[in-house]
A and B are shown apart, each in its own frame.
Chain A
């Protein structure tokens, strides 16, 4: 079985400050990891993914994520938050070996204040 934990229901940060949205995962074998963002009344949009290689992955809108195998984590980060980053963020995992469906976390609401 595979699972994703997003320990924070909500993250609050002031505009211009760095942000981190946490994600830990459990999967048998090696993981493929994803971050998606959902703006109000919209579907999910892909932000970035980790497949293999460099542990620091850069994605859309200035976001990046760091894969840490020993801690089974894939935290989403951005050096300077914008009010427009306020949205619901989902982490997702699947295993690299063979086919497996994508398992999503419960989501973390990011609120960036002006």
Chain B
């Protein structure tokens, strides 16, 4: 969905490096999410945010941090990357109706940690 953009689309980094993945949306949604996708494991929620002042941990937040810089921007950081954080990362948004309405996903960032 072009309304949700993620940068970079691909990233290769080394163990121990700090890396930031960025997400921007033009849908005007309040709620934003970060997921990771691993083969055979589906999507797992890392963090979610209902507005700029509201940040919540998801199922697998260890090793990650987030920043909601504005309603439209939600960044995911890996403070010290490790190889098992190699995955496909998705940002998603939904409006104030929350779960009742569907989530809209970005195109994903493929991260490889060597």
Q: Which residues in A have some Cβ–Cβ distance to B below 8 Å? A: 4, 9, 32, 34, 36, 41-46, 49, 51, 90, 94, 99-102, 104-107
Interface residues of B toward A: which range? 20 to 34
Q: A-contacting residues of B (Cβ < 8 Å)?
A: 1, 4, 35, 40-45, 48, 58-59, 90, 92, 98-100, 102-108
CB distance A102 to B42 under 8 Å? no
Using CB atoms, name the residue of chain B closest to A49. Answer: B102
A90–B59 Cα distance when bound, in Å, is 18
Are B42 and A106 in touch, CB under 8 angstroms? Answer: yes
Inter-chain contact A45/B1, CB cutoff 8 Å: yes
A100 & B40 in contact (Cβ 8 Å cutoff): no
Residues of B within 8 A of A49 (CB): 102
Q: Of B1, B59, B98, B102, which one neighbours A43 at CB under 8 angstroms? A: B1
Residues of chain A within 8 A (CB-CB) of B48 are: 101
Contact A102 B45 (CB under 8 A): yes
User: Could you say which residues of chain B place their CB within 8 Å of the CB of A101?
Assistant: 45, 48, 58-59, 99
Residue of B nearest to A6 (CB): B42
Instruction: Give A106 to B44 CA distance when docked, in angstroms.
Output: 9
Please give the distance in Å from B37's CB to the nearest CB on chain A: 8
- Contact: B45 with A43, CB < 8 Å? no
Complex CA gap A49/B94 in Å reads 14
Give chain B residues whose Cβ lies under 8 Å from the Cβ of A41. Answer: 107-108
- C-alpha gap A43/B48 in the complex (Å): 17
Q: Which of B40, B43, B106 has the most CB of A within 10 A?
A: B43
